[in-house]
Amino acid sequence: ISRRSPISFLIASKDALLIAFSTSSSAATMPVSIKVAEEKLEIKPSVSQFIIPLGATINMNGTALYQAVATVFLAQVFGIDLTLGQLLLVMIITVGASIGTPSTPGVGIIILATILSSVGVPPEGVLLIIGVDRILDMSRTSINVAGDLVACSVLDRLTKDNLGSLINLKEVP
């Protein structure tokens, strides 16, 4: 949609993605993300300064994916077969919970325990994941920040297209 090559997009976004990976915090990455969006991705400041803070608050796609996969993994570890209804419930809860997740390191594991108990998986299973959670947290934060930059890029492209059609409409007698 934004008419950018995924490779060139990732190369241009590398500064923000590295900061996100090292800090595990979308909030700490915000200033760098805005700078990358405006200077390297050439996104209008009005778009980047609106989308990046909003995305750091509610766009936690990496967190939602992690919580859903971890829930299914732990259900399998405990020998619990999740029904289609339970999987649908996991999907709805993880998306909802990821919207309200604070953009600070380590919070996803606490929310995971709540999701586990809602579908009948023992929350003690979190102990199996907690040892590698820091690495997973770094990865999901990078995905969250990449999602914010993609949203900026797409919205910037859509606003340019709409602005161009509005200008063309005014020129027609």
* pLDDT digit string, tens, across residues 19-53: 999 998 888 999 999 999 999 999 999 999 999 99
| Alpha helices, DSSP H, located in the chain | 6-12, 14-23, 26-35, 45-58, 61-77, 84-100, 107-118, 126-129, 133-171
Tell me the longest C-alpha to C-alpha distance in the chain: 70
70 Cβ contact list (under 8 Å, min separation 6): 112, 129
pLDDT at position 172, please?
A: 46
pLDDT at position 163, please?
A: 55
Long-range Cβ contact pairs of 77-83 (< 8 A, separation 24 or more): 77/125, 77/128, 78/121, 78/122, 78/125, 80/120, 80/121, 82/119
For residue 131, give the H/E element and its range: none
The stretches in the chain having pLDDT less than 50 are 166-169, 171-173
For the entire predicted model, the pTM comes to: 0.82
- Say how far apart CA 75 and CA 120 lie, in whole Å: 9
For residue 56, CA distances in Å to 17, 42, 81 come to: 13, 20, 34
As a dihedral over the C-alpha atoms of residue 136, residue 137, residue 139, residue 140, rounded to 10 degrees, the angle is: 110
Return the structure tokens found at 138.
């770094």
Which amino acid appears at position 12 of this protein?
A
**DSSP tag of 130:** T
pLDDT at position 56, please?
A: 86
For residue 139, CA distances in Å to 8, 109, 134 come to: 20, 14, 9
